Amino acid sequence: MINLELPKKLRASANQAHQVAAEIFRPASRKYDLAEHEYPVELDTMAAMVEGLADSGTQDISGATGGRKTEGKTEGEDKVHATELLGNSNGGNMSALLNALETSWGDVGLMLSIPYQGLGNAAIAAVATDEQLERFGKVWAAMAITEPSFGSDSAAVTTTATLDGDEWVLNGTKIFVTAGSRATHIVVWASVDKSKGRAAIKSFVVPRDAPGLTVARLEHKLGIKASDTAELRLEDCRIPKDNILGSPEVNVEKGFAGVMQTFDNTRPLVAAMAIGVGRAALEELRTILTEAGVAISYDTPAMNQHAAAAEFLRLEADWEAAYLLALRAGWMADNKKPNSLEASMSKAKAGRMGTDVTLKAVELAGALGYSERTLLEKWSRDSKILDIFEGTQQIQQLIVARRVLELSSTELK
């Protein structure tokens, strides 16, 4: 029998995140949606709390260790034997996924603004060496991939990194960098040798105050307005030689696989964000329908219920499917199982579900849903980006097709 319940240690962490979402994020949600680019001072408390949890060993920062710690290192030999026998581990990825889900239930824009919770942290976890993880495990890292010349085609990176003695010199422009002006570090994708194509693309950890790195502007956006989205310029930006994540060697045979490992960690997290926003919308919609006298029954066939109730049941089932796919992808990452297919499946499903659920909730709630008296209209705006960044819906479906059909990127474009 398959047990789909969360283990106690994950439930405790998720409950903490939910309390933060309910007590800090929800009350401030509308305030920072209307005050775009204003720094949420409430997050200063969050920064101290997250750092304290990490220092005490109670909780990993944003899953920054990415499940790389073994149970035995912190909980004794018996745990090592138990993990080996059961072959089952729930670590940084699952913890980060559930924390992202719960805090996004409160406000996804504020969630993306939490110190130490940047998507760059998951990138560091994916490809950093143990020594680099020690150095960068507690930084707040944003991730800079997209450029003015491309969006989802990550292989089209034009930013360059040239080795000059003991330093890398980076040149290029990055756009739509989430937390780009607030994060302490930026994980930048750049090519070390453009003649060798995508295999030469590496990721670099660039301190926010590195000489040559500037914020060109902040974007005005449809949603997640509490989060700063920046355009960054790198002009002869110098960083230490050992700030390249992983090996500096260009392996043409391995190709693009090294840096793409990043997405195996981050895509389930973005899926979790969409799942959190979707659950918030479903809960609000259920309250509105119940108050309007629409009964929702799990014992009566949908076709024999009110049309709004039948639609609610469809949306809820879609949400459940996205939730289970995300859990699977996160669990596989923690257990060192290749999860590229599952990560893209969870991102594709959750991204589409999030926009469908939130827009349908606005529709079913009528004038109330379109007004600012509830957060439904805000959630519908916030959810769209979750179907776009970290790879669009179309890109995820393309990756899934390649994996299922066992075709390369040159064979299936």
- pLDDT tens figures, 6-21: 989 899 989 999 999 9
Which pLDDT value is given to residue 90?
81
Which pLDDT value is given to residue 91?
82
Which pLDDT value is given to residue 377?
98
Which pLDDT value is given to residue 254?
61
DSSP state of 386: T
pLDDT of 163 above 70: yes
C-alpha–C-alpha distance, residues 286 and 361, integer Å? 9
3-class DSSP assignment, residue 272: helix
Which pLDDT value is given to residue 115?
84
Which pLDDT value is given to residue 274?
98
pLDDT of 376 above 90: yes
Q: Buried b vs exposed e over 41-68: b needs ≥16 C-beta within 10 Å?
A: ebbeebeebbeebbeeeebbbbbbbbbb
Is 377 noted as a catalytic residue in this protein? no
**Cut 0.95: pTM above it:** no
Average pLDDT, the chain: 88
Contacts with 408 (C-beta within 8 Å, 6 or more apart), sequence order? 402
Catalytic residue among 77, 390, 406, 411: 390
Which pLDDT value is given to residue 129?
86
Q: Which band of pLDDT confidence, cut at 50, 70 and 90, is reported for residue 68?
A: low
C-alpha–C-alpha distance, residues 281 and 376, integer Å? 6
Which pLDDT value is given to residue 124?
87
Indicate if the alpha-carbon torsion angle 181, 183, 185, 188 is positive or negative. negative
CB atoms within 10 A of CB 134: 10
Domains recognised in the chain with CATH numbers? 8-136 (1.10.540.10), 141-243 (2.40.110.10), 257-405 (1.20.140.10)
pLDDT of 241 above 70: yes
Which pLDDT value is given to residue 11?
93
Indicate if the alpha-carbon torsion angle 42, 102, 105, 183 is positive or negative. positive
Instruction: Give the mean model confidence (pLDDT) for residues 367-383.
Output: 97
CB atoms within 10 A of CB 406: 8
* In the chain, % of residues over pLDDT 90: 69
DSSP state of 244: B
